[in-house]
Amino acid sequence: MKEDAQTTNVSPRFGTVVLTGATSGIGEATARSLAAQADELILLGVEPEAEVTEVLSGIRHAGEARVEYISADFSRMAEVVRAARAVRALTRSIDLLINDAGVPGAPQRIVTVDGFERTLQVNALAPALFTRLLVPSLARGARIVNVASSAHRVEHFDFTDPDLARHYDVQTAYCRAKLAMVTWSAMLDQEPHGDHVDVVALCPGLNDTPLSAAMMGRIGGPPTQGAARVLYAATASVPSGSYLEHDRVVEPSHDSRDLGNRRRLAALYTGRLLPVAARYGEV
């Protein structure tokens, strides 16, 4: 980030921004705003580029940022690794990384080719691996913004059944995945890179997006409302490791703050992500 939005009266400027989930909903609305605030936008979406040419054209016309697009399906860890490599090939320095990609809980339990429950993988494991692979490219003073949800408060961890093999339903899958993301975000702040990179997680509120419609129907405000909260989290003068709701720093759920849960989640992530990284020569 080139300017502190809290101390100027103009919109903040960014150098290079990497944004996942950029082709619909909150991600697309965020990308349109950033097109006028960034020098370079590296956007990720699940669709092949040919299927989102109109979306990308709209983003490009929203500002002067140089826009690059990478297609990546986060339900396949091989594509997460490929996407991180593609980002590294496009830029040597990232000023802002926004993890917005996500899926709703599916009506029926889906296990990915990697052997993980899909909602957990796409919403929590894949962003963690993607971020891990990009940490060396983060500029000093960069910020990682993780788009989470207040829905994380609804559920509790069950480390004996992280993939919901015994009991699966839509809400449990989504809420536990967001609980994992909120917890991981706070843990990320404690890692060695924390002296030069900020980490902020947020709930974007209830927005009428394809993801929310799949689980709850057409309710909530416009995606621009959520995008405004994402951009606030990207620039707000808040402590690294903060979690925001309604643009205010609040405590996340007890489960996410419990040190035992954090140790168990760290072990789960290590056991799942390191083998993937090693398989593709990233460790």
As annotated, the active-site residues are 174
- 49 neighbors 130 (Cβ within 8 angstroms): no
**Residue tagged 């957990």 (tokens):** 120
| SS3 of residue 252 by DSSP | coil
Residues 58, 63: Cα–Cα separation, whole Å? 9
Structure tokens at 68: 């690059």
Q: What is the 3-state secondary structure (H, E, C) of 125-184?
A: HHHHHHHHHHHHHEEEEEEEEEECCHHHHHCCCCCCCCCCCCCCCHHHHHHHHHHHHHHH
Longest dimension (CA), the chain: 53
CA–chain centroid gap for 242, Å, is 15
User: How far is the C-alpha of 148 from the C-alpha of 193, rounded, in Å?
Assistant: 21
- The answer to whether the CB of 111 falls within 8 A of the CB of 83 is no
- The amino acid that residue 171 corresponds to is Q
In sequence order, which residues have a C-beta less than 8 Å from that of residue 179 and are 6 or more positions away?
152, 155, 156, 157, 253, 255, 256
Q: DSSP of 92-113, one letter per residue?
A: S-EEEEEE----PPPSS--B-T
Helix (H, G, I), strand (E, B) or coil at 115: coil
